[in-house]
Amino acid sequence: MSKVVLVAACALVDADGRVLLAQRPAGKSMAGLWEFPGGKIESGEKPEDSLIRELKEELGIVVKEACLAPLTFASHAYRDFHLLMPLYVCRRWGGNVTPLEGQAIAWVRPNKLRDYPMPAADEPLVAHLMALL
C-alpha cells in the first residue's frame, strides 16, 4: 500500500471568469506541467489553512477562509504515492497575484484549460470547473 499524500489546491477565478494555472518549475517532479496553485497539507493543518499559507507564499495574495468554497476532489494513484487533493474555488482575495517562486502563471478561460498539459490528478478537475463556470 503506497502512502497517501494530502494536497490542497485552489482554482482562483478572476472577475472575467478566468482560472489561474501555475507551471511547475524546473527541478520539481512533473516540471513543466500546469496545475492549480496550492500545496501539501502539513501535519495538524486544515486544508483551508494550508491553502491560505501556500497562496501567500507562492502568489503573494491574502485569502480569507470564508472565501474558499470546496468544489470537488481528486483521488489519484501515482506510482510512488496516492494523492488526495481537495479543490477549492476562490473568487475574492487581497493583493495582486504575483508569481513569487519564479513559476510561470496563466489566466485561462475554462474552455481552454485542456490546452495546458497537467498532472494526471488535475485533469479530471477541469470538467467540474467548466460546469461551474
pLDDT at 32: 95
Average pLDDT over residues 97-106: 95
Residues 66-100 pLDDT 10s: 999 999 999 999 999 999 999 999 999 999 999 99
Name the pTM for this structure: 0.94
Domains located in the chain, CATH noted: 3-132 (3.90.79.10)
Q: Are 55 and 92 in contact (CB under 8 A)?
A: no
Q: Residue 83 contacts by C-beta under 8 Å, 6 or more apart in sequence?
A: 4, 5, 7, 74, 75, 76, 77, 121
Q: Residue 19 contacts by C-beta under 8 Å, 6 or more apart in sequence?
A: 11, 12, 13, 36, 107, 108, 109, 110, 113, 129, 133
CA torsion through residues 22, 41, 57, 28, sign: negative
